[in-house]
Amino acid sequence: MTPAAPDHPRPRSPLHLFIAFTVLALQGFGGVLAVAQRELVDRRRWMTREEFVDAYSVAQLLPGPNVVNLSLMLGDRFFGWRGAFAAISGMLFAPLVLVIVLAAGYNQLAGFPAVAGALRGMGAVAAGLILAMALKMLGTLRRNPLGPALCALLGLTTLVAVTVFRVPLAWVVIGLGTAGWCIARWCIARQEGARR
């Protein structure tokens, strides 16, 4: 991530970061990414659109929740580890308290058939949201140097390994991830060779 242009506004203090990220997180129903873009880029102008895309691609590549990694990078850029901590705490603290209160309430209300039904309905919607997200992710593979056939092979192998054979995730990520990395290195080398 390149440093912000000098005319960019910046947060005044780690506390300011904490408050901004709390406000942002509390608006993020069903995902925070879109809200983060609007608040940090369009409204507060702490990052340019390009910086946001840059930070997000790095955040995606690393393990951990993407929006948490994104908060961390932005906070770190302004105030070092104190900023990183403030941004992550803002992103997580208020929503965490809220969701735990909801979970505790659910444990007491679960006896009511209407509540159980509501949760079942929400569960079905949650499943639909995840499946739709998977379909959207499918679109980003179009520009993958592996090409459609190898992408489909790797993706389907992952799906079958996890759902049918219940292979532990560590083996899937290490095994298929390494395979994917090796194949991708070969594909990229070949494409760059062909370009010369």
Partner 1 sequence: MSSLPLADLVDLFLRFLMLSLLSIGGAMSTAPEMHRFLVAERGWLNDADFTTAIALAQAAPGPNVLFVPVLGFQVAGVVGAAAALLGILLPSTLLSLGVSRWGAQRRDAPAVRAFTAGLAPVSVGLVFATGWLLSLPFIAAPEHRLGALALIAATMAVTLKTRLAPIWMIVVGATVGALGGV
List binders of partner 1 among 49-108 (CB under 8 A).
54, 57-69, 72-73, 76, 81, 84, 88, 91-92, 94-96, 98-100, 102-104, 106-107
What is the spatial distance between Cα 129 and Cα 123, in angstroms, rounded to a whole number? 10
Binding of partner 1 by 120 (CB under 8 A): yes
Q: How many residues bind partner 1 (CB under 8 A)?
A: 102
Binding of partner 1 by 155 (CB under 8 A): yes
Chosen residue from 20, 32, 47, 86 binding partner 1 by CB under 8 A: 32
What residues contact 180, with CB distance under 8 A and at least 6 apart? 146, 154
Find the binding residues for partner 1 in span 2-21 (CB under 8 A).
none
What are the structure tokens assigned to 18, written together?
């904490």
For residue 141, the 8-state DSSP code is: G
At its nearest, how many Å lie between partner 1 and the CB of residue 124?
4
At its nearest, how many Å lie between partner 1 and the CB of residue 138?
6
What is the spatial distance between Cα 41 and Cα 75, in angstroms, rounded to a whole number? 14
| Residue placing its CB nearer to partner 1 in the complex, 19 or 28 | 28
Binding of partner 1 by 165 (CB under 8 A): no
Binding of partner 1 by 47 (CB under 8 A): no
What is the spatial distance between Cα 39 and Cα 33, in angstroms, rounded to a whole number? 10
At its nearest, how many Å lie between partner 1 and the CB of residue 46?
16
| Residue placing its CB nearer to partner 1 in the complex, 41 or 94 | 94
Among residues 88, 19, 80, 29, which one has the least CA distance to residue 59? 88
> Quick check: 87 and 25 in contact, CB under 8 A?
no
| Residue placing its CB nearer to partner 1 in the complex, 13 or 128 | 128
What is the spatial distance between Cα 111 and Cα 115, in angstroms, rounded to a whole number? 8
